Amino acid sequence: MAEAKGQVGVLQVSDLEAASLADRAYHAIREMIVSLELRPGAVIDERGLMERLGIGRTPTREALRRLAQERLVEVYPRRGMFVTSVEIRDLASLAEVRSVLESHVARLAAERATDEDRSALERLLDELGDPSELDAQELMALDERIHREVYRCAHNPFLEATLEEYYVLALRIWYLALDRARELEQAVLGHRELLEAIHDGDADRAEETMRRHVLDFEASMRRVLTGA
């Protein structure tokens, strides 16, 4: 019986390690896809990813399976895996969903933020102090951190996971326009009002500010990408 318990313990540790490696592979490969390092339509070189990340086949495949579920990777039997294409027209559809869900999560964040959450918001406000020193990729990374902190402040893991997925899909499209988006700095600066509203517990202002930000940013990116 004691030996059986020991074996179970070993399995549990092994499972935890595998899950951690799969999670690390997932985030690394997702970053390559979102930043367009892995271009839309590119073949997924599983062995190459394993060597680059120093991670085995099982966690790499688990990461790719998860990315396929999130529509960042496509799997074709007997042909292989490919990075999904980027459809600019999806930006408007994503904004329709995000403007509703993100405005709601901003309201919840304002209502539920803890003292620890407010401290995190204050640090982000400090980062917004002088965004002129940041390049386009650094500005986008700051935008990403802000949105994810707002999601966390709502303390709803299901809503957080859903918004994370939609944000990543939109972010991938935005990367197509980073070198041309002159309005990006102003869009990121616009988060100050949002963060202050959440920090102060002003749910109405947080909700409206987030809705306006999502829709305005989508319109800005659409103009850059389509020239419309």
Q: Are 159 and 127 in contact (CB under 8 A)?
A: no
The predicted model gives 185-214 an average pLDDT of: 92
Q: Is 76 helix (H, G, I), strand (E, B) or coil?
A: strand
The predicted model gives 97-101 an average pLDDT of: 96
Per-residue pLDDT, 181:
57
Q: Which residue has the tokens 């700095």?
A: 185
pLDDT at 100 > cutoff 50 = yes
pLDDT digits (tens, 9 = 90+) for 157-172: 999 999 999 999 998 8
The values of phi and psi at residue 86, to 5°, are: -105, 125
Helix (H) or strand (E) run with residue 26 in it: helix 2-34
pLDDT at 58 > cutoff 80 = yes
CA 113 to chain centre: 20
The predicted model gives 194-211 an average pLDDT of: 97
More confident residue, 123 or 129: 123
The values of phi and psi at residue 179, to 5°, are: -80, -5
pLDDT at 228 > cutoff 90 = no
Give the pLDDT band (50/70/90) at residue 178: confident
Measured from the Cβ of residue 76, the count of other Cβ atoms closer than 10 Å reads 8
CA angle 182, 219, 96 (to 5 degrees): 140
In CATH, what class is 2-83?
mainly alpha
pLDDT at 3 > cutoff 50 = no
Measured from the Cβ of residue 32, the count of other Cβ atoms closer than 10 Å reads 18
CA angle 38, 44, 49 (to 5 degrees): 85
Per-residue pLDDT, 110:
98
Helix (H) or strand (E) run with residue 171 in it: helix 157-174
Can you give the residue ranges of every domain in the chain? Answer: 2-83, 90-226
CA dist., res. 203 & res. 151, Å (int)? 14
Using CA of residue 23, residue 28, residue 33, residue 39, what is the dihedral sign? Answer: negative
- In sequence order, what E strands does the chain have? 73-76, 80-83
Superfamily per CATH, domain 90-226: GntR ligand-binding domain-like (1.20.120.530)
Q: Which residue has the tokens 């987030």?
A: 210
Within the chain, what is the greatest distance between any pair of CA atoms? 71
